[in-house]
Amino acid sequence: MHREPIPEELHRFILTSVRSVPVVEAVLLFRAAKGAPLDVRGLAQRLYLPEKQAGEIVAELHEAGVLAREAQLPDCYRYEPSSPELGAMLEMLAHFYASNLVDVTKLIHSSTARRAMQFADAFKLRKDS
């Protein structure tokens, strides 16, 4: 089966903006709700995560302009990208995540590993100084 390669702009977006697979899964769940509000507790259950971790993901997505807080419902958010460009990038991410799951998750994990290595290297330099 031939898979189309991840476009360079999506590749760059994943490396710079996506810190984990649960973040992508949360975006996909909110996107699939088609604007209906989801609460943090329900998201945690659907992602098999502790509620605290799901809350951190939701806060991160809200801060990034992916989610809007639902005014009448506490701890509820809905999918509402803050710009057409962000919305288009998230649509592209959803498409490639569905069709190239392994490639996208490897890219997410490689960026996490790279950041961890950079952090460790920075600590090593300070320790040796």
CB 93 within 8 A of CB 10: yes
CA nearest neighbour of 98 among 48, 42, 24, 12: 24
Structural domains of the chain, ranges and CATH numbers in brackets: 8-124 (1.10.10.10)
Taking only the tens place, the pLDDT of each residue in 29-66 is 999 999 899 999 999 999 999 999 999 999 999 999 99
Counts for the chain of helices (H) and strands (E), in that order: 6, 3
Q: Which residues pair with 79 in a beta bridge?
A: 67
Say what the pLDDT of residue 24 is: 96
- State pTM to two decimals: 0.82
94 φ, ψ to 5°?
-60, -45
